[in-house]
Chain A
Amino acid sequence: MATSLVITSGKGGVGKSTTAANLGTALALMNKRVCMIDLDIGLRNLDVIMGLSNRIIYDIVDVVMGRARLHQALIKDKRFDDKLYLLPAAQNTVKNIISPMNVVDIVNQLRPDFDFILLDCPAGIEQGFQNAIAGADGAIVICTPEIPSVSDADRVVGLLEQREMKLAPRLIINRINRSLMNEGNTMDVDEITKHLSIGLLGIVFEDSNVILASNQGTPIVMNPDYNASQGYRNIARRILGESVPLMTLKEHKPGLFERLFGKRSRKH
């Protein structure tokens, strides 16, 4: 039976869909059967990040309206055998078209066939948010080290706590700019975690390759050489119960030899 996790943040643009795509992919790479559900109705983009846009025939609204059966609307990502599926959102309608009960029904139908169901929540705390959290056993809250993002995450954690989910909400701090954080120009990881008073699931460093990967429809986690990829892989391992230390915030400083000959041990 699947565990359903909603990926939420309150604020837009902090990397919810990117995180959903990368965690789904990372879990599938670890041989878990995963179904991602895009609940950002009217503004879907999980399919774009996964490179599955051209394969959408039916979407979640078609399922709710009875125009398609659930398994007709699921898109299998062929890169992962039969481990990873996507239920896309509709692009030509509004969030209010589905209700929290619809989401609960869909999640319950999917539970026996998967290990994880990841619900990609839209920004905001209105109907779309209520739909997404209704079907979840637990929540992953995404924030960046910016005060508006932390403040919105705080609001969302308050709303999640009122629902008393089976699993306590956990935090991912995304898009960490190491030099800004090391210089003390942004809130640091400990400060954010202490402020939000929820468990830290992991951190992901800012990496322009994430954008490139999303544009190509290939989640960055598929390439293990990048720091952001490692961050997502570590988070997936922690979701599975492994104990993985946090990545270091220290920046890689090239030595003389590296500076002279431009040789780098790792892509950054």
Chain B
Amino acid sequence: MDSVSLKGRKNGYEINLNANANFDDNITDLLNLLQRLSQSEQEDHGDLDFFLNTGRRLLDEPQIQRIQALFDKFQHFKLAHLAADVLDKSQAQTQVRKQGIHAEMSVIRSGQEVVYESDVLFLGNLHAGGVLKSTGSIFVLGQCEGILYAGYPDNDMAVIVGDISQATQVRISDTIEIIDPKRQHFSKDTIALINDLHVLDFDTSDHLLALRPKLYRKMEDNL
């Protein structure tokens, strides 16, 4: 039985490699399959995209290069995507981290920059000159005198919730607001977010469900 199987797709072919088979067998069978396809496909169809799935096997770099070398032998075949059904441990941990809320309780001092790839519940002390940066949202319960940067670098849906009256700046995605507590009123219920006009705006947390329903549900799931 061949260790590779072929499926047609609207925009090319999907090839599944049987993860239980020896990898060398995968390579031999894949070469045979590509040769057969090359003979049957007419050249005037243009380039054909291939989506390769390795199932429950994770390939290392030399193995990926061997597969790429096979496709390079055929002028009109292009390896468009290579994927597996599994993740290695560190990738899985990163994904879990990104989905959860990280509680940060430390002092972030002048000149220090702390970066998280998740939402952050900030309970510590952010000094003037320090930066708390997150790819997700930031929920402030501590004291902030530095720069809060949510949605780094381009997550427009991120928000900053809490008392930001002492912060130097808040930044979300590519927008920046210099905080001036004399002109703006802030409280522990303040939300900073990017509005429909792509302007950094402020609201109150009772509107969070209406403004960011996905974030609200995510928070409910996490708590």
- Write the residues of chain A forming the contact surface with B, with a CB cutoff of 8 angstroms: 151-152, 154-155, 157-159, 161, 195, 197
* CB neighbours of A195 from chain B (8 A): 127
Q: How far is the CB of A144 from chain B (nearest CB, A)?
A: 16
**B111 near A155 (CB under 8 angstroms)?**
yes
* CB neighbours of B16 from chain A (8 A): none
Asked if B110 is an interface residue, CB under 8 A from chain A, the answer is yes
**A197 near B128 (CB under 8 angstroms)?**
no
Q: How far is the CB of B125 from chain A (nearest CB, A)?
A: 7
**B125 near A155 (CB under 8 angstroms)?**
no
* CB neighbours of B129 from chain A (8 A): 151, 154-155
Could you say which interface size class chain B belongs to? Answer: under 10
Interface positions, chain B 115-132, Cβ under 8 Å from A, are: 125, 127-129
Can you name 6 A-B pairs with beta carbons within 8 Å?
A152-B110, A154-B127, A155-B109, A155-B111, A158-B112, A197-B107
Contacts A158-B112, A197-B125 known; list 17 others, CB within 8 Å: A151-B110, A151-B127, A151-B129, A152-B110, A154-B109, A154-B110, A154-B127, A154-B128, A154-B129, A155-B109, A155-B110, A155-B111, A158-B110, A158-B111, A159-B111, A161-B109, A197-B107
* CB neighbours of B127 from chain A (8 A): 151, 154, 195
Q: How far is the CB of B124 from chain A (nearest CB, A)?
A: 10
Q: For the complex, give the distance between the alpha carbons of A265 and B47 in Å.
A: 98
Our count of residue pairs bridging A and B at CB distance below 8 angstroms stands at 25
Q: For the complex, give the distance between the alpha carbons of A154 and B109 in Å.
A: 6
Residue among B109, B127, B129 facing the most chain A CB atoms (10 A cut-off):
B109
* CB neighbours of B111 from chain A (8 A): 154-155, 158-159
Q: How far is the CB of A77 from chain B (nearest CB, A)?
A: 37
Q: How far is the CB of A162 from chain B (nearest CB, A)?
A: 9
Q: For the complex, give the distance between the alpha carbons of A157 and B110 in Å.
A: 9
Interface positions, chain B 90-119, Cβ under 8 Å from A, are: 107, 109-112
Q: For the complex, give the distance between the alpha carbons of A152 and B110 in Å.
A: 8
Q: How far is the CB of B86 from chain A (nearest CB, A)?
A: 37
Q: For the complex, give the distance between the alpha carbons of A195 and B127 in Å.
A: 8
Q: For the complex, give the distance between the alpha carbons of A251 and B221 in Å.
A: 58
Q: How far is the CB of A160 from chain B (nearest CB, A)?
A: 10
Q: For the complex, give the distance between the alpha carbons of A197 and B127 in Å.
A: 11
| In the complex, residue of chain A having the shortest beta-carbon distance to the beta carbon of B112 | A158
Q: For the complex, give the distance between the alpha carbons of A54 and B178 in Å.
A: 54
| In the complex, residue of chain A having the shortest beta-carbon distance to the beta carbon of B127 | A154
* CB neighbours of A151 from chain B (8 A): 110, 127-129
| In the complex, residue of chain B having the shortest beta-carbon distance to the beta carbon of A147 | B128
Q: For the complex, give the distance between the alpha carbons of A92 and B179 in Å.
A: 47
| In the complex, residue of chain B having the shortest beta-carbon distance to the beta carbon of A158 | B109
* CB neighbours of B125 from chain A (8 A): 197
Q: For the complex, give the distance between the alpha carbons of A157 and B112 in Å.
A: 11
* CB neighbours of B112 from chain A (8 A): 158
Q: For the complex, give the distance between the alpha carbons of A157 and B125 in Å.
A: 14
Q: Which 9 A-B pairs have the closest CB atoms?
A: A158-B109, A154-B110, A155-B110, A155-B111, A154-B109, A158-B112, A197-B107, A154-B127, A151-B110
* CB neighbours of A154 from chain B (8 A): 109-111, 127-129
| In the complex, residue of chain A having the shortest beta-carbon distance to the beta carbon of B124 | A197
| In the complex, residue of chain A having the shortest beta-carbon distance to the beta carbon of B107 | A197
* CB neighbours of A152 from chain B (8 A): 110
Q: How far is the CB of B61 from chain A (nearest CB, A)?
A: 34
Q: For the complex, give the distance between the alpha carbons of A70 and B171 in Å.
A: 54
Q: How far is the CB of A124 from chain B (nearest CB, A)?
A: 13
Q: How far is the CB of A78 from chain B (nearest CB, A)?
A: 43
Q: For the complex, give the distance between the alpha carbons of A154 and B126 in Å.
A: 11
Q: For the complex, give the distance between the alpha carbons of A159 and B109 in Å.
A: 9
Q: For the complex, give the distance between the alpha carbons of A161 and B110 in Å.
A: 13
Q: For the complex, give the distance between the alpha carbons of A61 and B184 in Å.
A: 56
| In the complex, residue of chain B having the shortest beta-carbon distance to the beta carbon of A197 | B107
* CB neighbours of A155 from chain B (8 A): 109-111, 129
